[in-house]
């Protein structure tokens, strides 16, 4: 049975404990946590007592966590930035353990870059993803990347190339259906027929009905 969750990406000013209560009262099955300083959800902003409180609330409210969504990008030209991103990802995994959200949590992040840079930056992107895949395998989580309209991976063939070339079970896709509708994604050929098992969860966002593909 499909479960439906909300995300705190749209609730940057709402404390996490209130967000949990709100989505549970509405009737959602879970809450995706957006990880970023503006959301007051960076690992260093959630101390041990707060983690224990949130863990208890998730259990009492019977809410799952489909993913922890790091608000940032995988793609970077700077080794120090990449190192810090990996460190943050490891810290987010520690947060996931403390919240007891599952034996193999999903941690997701945007890919970044710009569409015209695909040819020049796809190989560097793969090398960066290999490091995330290694960390995910070591720490027992799934790292999910999000294609995005206007970003480097913004169409079906690019997502397929990344998944086929990387070919690593620790890296999957974070499926935001608005981004697929907004750019060149064929939902049927890419994600149902070929990559249904690669997409860890679906994200539905409100958008204007100006697209004709279904």
Helices (H), 62-117: 79-99
CB proximity list for 200: less than 8 A, separation 6 or greater: 66, 67, 106, 108, 142, 144, 172, 173, 174, 175
Contact between 183 and 152 under an 8 Å Cβ cutoff? The reply is no
Gyration radius of the chain over CA positions: 17
Model pLDDT, residue 198: 44
Domain count, the chain: 1
Can you read off the two tokens belonging to residue 92?
Answer: 């987010």
- pTM of the prediction? 0.86
With respect to residue 187, please indicate whether it lies within any of the assigned structural domains: yes
CA 29 to chain centre: 18
Q: Cα dihedral sign for 213, 174, 150, 194?
A: negative
Q: Please state, in angstroms and as integers, the Cα–Cα distance from residue 78 to each residue in 8, 42, 139, following that order.
A: 29, 22, 24
Q: Which residue has the higher pLDDT, 150 or 208?
A: 150
Q: Which residue has the higher pLDDT, 208 or 113?
A: 113
With respect to residue 196, please indicate whether it lies within any of the assigned structural domains: yes
With respect to residue 17, please indicate whether it lies within any of the assigned structural domains: yes
With respect to residue 209, please indicate whether it lies within any of the assigned structural domains: no
In the predicted structure, residue 196 carries a pLDDT above the cut 50: no
Gap between the Cα atoms of 181 and 183, Å rounded: 6
Could you read off the pLDDT of 170-192 as tens digits, one per residue?
Answer: 999 887 655 454 455 555 455 55
Domain that holds residue 193: 5-203
With respect to residue 38, please indicate whether it lies within any of the assigned structural domains: yes
With respect to residue 177, please indicate whether it lies within any of the assigned structural domains: yes
With respect to residue 55, please indicate whether it lies within any of the assigned structural domains: yes
Average pLDDT, integer, range 196-207: 47
**Which of the residue ranges 79-83, 85-89, 101-105, 119-123 would you say has the lowest mean pLDDT?**
101-105
Average pLDDT, integer, range 116-125: 97
Model pLDDT, residue 39: 96
Q: Cα dihedral sign for 11, 17, 19, 20?
A: positive
Domain with 128 in it: what CATH number?
3.20.20.150
With respect to residue 208, please indicate whether it lies within any of the assigned structural domains: no
**Which single residue is written with the structure tokens 């190339």?**
161
CA 198 to chain centre: 13
**Which of the residue ranges 38-42, 114-118, 125-129, 146-150 would you say has the lowest mean pLDDT?**
146-150
Could you read off the pLDDT of 58-67 as tens digits, one per residue?
Answer: 999 999 999 9
């Amino acid at each position: 049975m499909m479960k439906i969750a909300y995300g705190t990406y749209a609730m940057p000013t709402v404390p996490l404990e209130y967000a949990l209560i709100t989505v549970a009262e509405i009737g959602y099955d879970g809450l995706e946590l957006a990880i970023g300083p503006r959301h007051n959800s960076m690992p260093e902003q959630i101390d041990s007592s707060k983690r224990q409180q949130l863990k208890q609330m998730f259990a009492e409210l019977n809410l799952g966590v489909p993913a922890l969504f790091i608000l940032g990008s995988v793609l970077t030209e700077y080794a120090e930035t990449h190192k810090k991103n990996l460190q943050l990802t490891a810290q987010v995994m520690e947060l996931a353990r403390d919240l007891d959200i599952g034996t193999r949590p999903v941690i997701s992040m945007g890919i970044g870059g710009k569409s015209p840079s695909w040819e020049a930056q796809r190989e560097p992107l793969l090398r960066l993803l290999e490091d995330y895949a290694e960390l995910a395998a070591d720490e027992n989580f799934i790292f999910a990347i999000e294609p995005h309209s206007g970003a480097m991976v913004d169409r079906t063939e690019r997502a397929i190339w990344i998944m086929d070339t990387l070919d690593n079970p620790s890296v999957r896709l974070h499926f935001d259906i608005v981004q697929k509708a907004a750019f060149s994604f064929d939902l049927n050929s890419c994600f149902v027929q070929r990559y249904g098992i690669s997409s860890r969860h679906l994200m539905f966002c409100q958008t204007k009905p100006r697209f004709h593909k279904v």
